Amino acid sequence: MTGHIDPTKETFAAFRMNDRPGPINMLNLVRFRDKAAYPDGRNATGAQAYAAYGRESDPVFSKLGGRIVWRGSFELMFIGPREEKWDECFIAEYPSVAAFVEMIRDPVYREAVKHRQAAVLDSRLIRLAPAAARSGFGGSD
């Protein structure tokens, strides 16, 4: 199995093209490697490498108005592939597409990404548009 770690150029282009006004939410589902895969061979677990990514990227994330709006612990895949289990589950909110793009182009963030790439075995990063909460399931009224 090949893990999903970084976006493709095509997906990133589509992400940027949908530059609607307002905030974007990014659902993050992350599975760590047992042992981080640093090119220099340093010894760390995937969880430790991901923690380093968080520490080093947070100043850029916060400066651009990013915030974590939800965090939870994976318990069970109720519907979906049983083999998909996630070590980190959270929703990050960015004020705009431009803020997200600015973050990933920031030199401090780009340096921090080496830890994420070493840490992650597989991930899902799903862009969502915020919507008003309401009771019940289903589409729009």
Domain of 31, CATH number, reads: 3.30.70.100
Within-domain flag for 32:
yes
Query: How far is it, in rounded angstroms, from Cα 115 to Cα 47?
Result: 10
User: Is residue 85 scored above 50 in pLDDT?
Assistant: yes
Split at pLDDT 50, 70, 90, the class of 2 is low
Within-domain flag for 53:
yes
Within-domain flag for 92:
yes
- Number of folded domains that form the chain: 1
pLDDT (mean) for 54-73: 98
Supply 31's token pair: 């599975």
Within-domain flag for 78:
no
Q: Which domain holds residue 31?
A: 23-73+84-128
> Residue 1: its pLDDT value, please?
45
User: Is residue 133 scored above 60 in pLDDT?
Assistant: yes
Within-domain flag for 141:
no
Tell me how far the alpha carbon of residue 57 is from its chain's centroid. Answer: 12
Q: pLDDT tens, 26-62?
A: 999 999 999 999 999 999 999 999 999 999 999 999 9
> Residue 12: its pLDDT value, please?
81
Within-domain flag for 108:
yes
Within-domain flag for 64:
yes
Within-domain flag for 46:
yes
pLDDT (mean) for 77-93: 95
Supply 126's token pair: 């799903």
Residue 45: helix, strand or coil by DSSP? strand
